[in-house]
């Protein structure tokens, strides 16, 4: 598959086959991620791979974080939304949390954050090329007081992505996007 076709075939997946993803596969995807452009090879990204029982605990924290965002976190609606959020993550083969190491210089900080986002995109595209699906999320879990201590993520690291990874049970159809021509300016003089 050509690169442009691969990029266009990537989808956000929320339903998973009950299969794990091997460490070797995840390592290969992370090796693709770190080939993202980064200023002076600053390599600002950090990856935390969550599998097994740790993934189940993280999924439960995601469910609690989702429910806590409701006006009444004890309501049936909040419980249902929290359970859906928990099940989505629990069904994935693995979860990869991506953070960016902070720096004082505002220009480099911006560049490093963009580079880390590019690493996430590399990871997602590489996963798609291997027949895997991803769901790049942050949402309520990113701000949960449970997340950082649970995964031993430094308090000052900037959370960029929580990526669910696995084998898709279904792939949603393409969602319409504006054609590039509608958002592009050409400057020739």
pLDDT per residue over 58-73, tens digit each?
Answer: 999 999 999 999 999 9
Q: What is the mean pLDDT of the chain?
A: 94
Are residues 150 and 58 in contact, defined by beta-carbon separation less than 8 angstroms? yes
User: Can you read off the two tokens belonging to residue 146?
Assistant: 């449970």
Nearest Cα residue to 134 out of 103, 92, 173: 92
The CATH superfamily holding the domain 3-50+91-170 is NADH Oxidase (3.40.109.10)
Query: pLDDT, tens digit, for every residue of 95-128?
Result: 999 999 999 999 999 999 999 999 999 999 999 9
What was the pLDDT predicted at 9? Answer: 86
Would the pTM count as exceeding 0.75?
yes
Query: pLDDT, tens digit, for every residue of 159-173?
Result: 999 999 999 998 888
DSSP 8-state assignment for residue 136: E
């Amino acid at each position: 598959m050509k690169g442009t076709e691969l990029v266009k075939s990537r989808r956000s997946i929320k339903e998973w086959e009950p299969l794990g993803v091997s460490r070797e596969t995840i390592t290969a995807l992370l090796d693709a991620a770190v080939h993202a452009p980064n200023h002076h090879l600053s390599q600002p990204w950090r990856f935390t791979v969550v599998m097994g029982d740790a993934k189940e605990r993280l999924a439960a924290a995601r469910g609690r974080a989702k429910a806590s965002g409701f006006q009444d976190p004890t309501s049936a609606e909040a419980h249902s939304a929290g359970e859906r959020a928990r099940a989505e993550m629990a069904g994935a083969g693995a979860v990869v949390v991506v953070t960016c190491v902070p720096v004082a210089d505002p220009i480099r900080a911006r560049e490093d954050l963009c580079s880390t986002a590019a690493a996430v995109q590399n990871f997602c595209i590489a996963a798609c090329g291997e027949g895997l699906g991803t769901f790049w999320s942050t949402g309520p879990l990113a701000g949960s007081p449970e997340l950082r201590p649970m995964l031993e993520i430094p308090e000052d690291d900037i959370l960029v992505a929580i990526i669910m990874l696995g084998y898709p049970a279904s792939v949603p159809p393409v969602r319409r996007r504006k054609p590039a021509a509608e958002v592009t300016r050409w400057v020739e003089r």
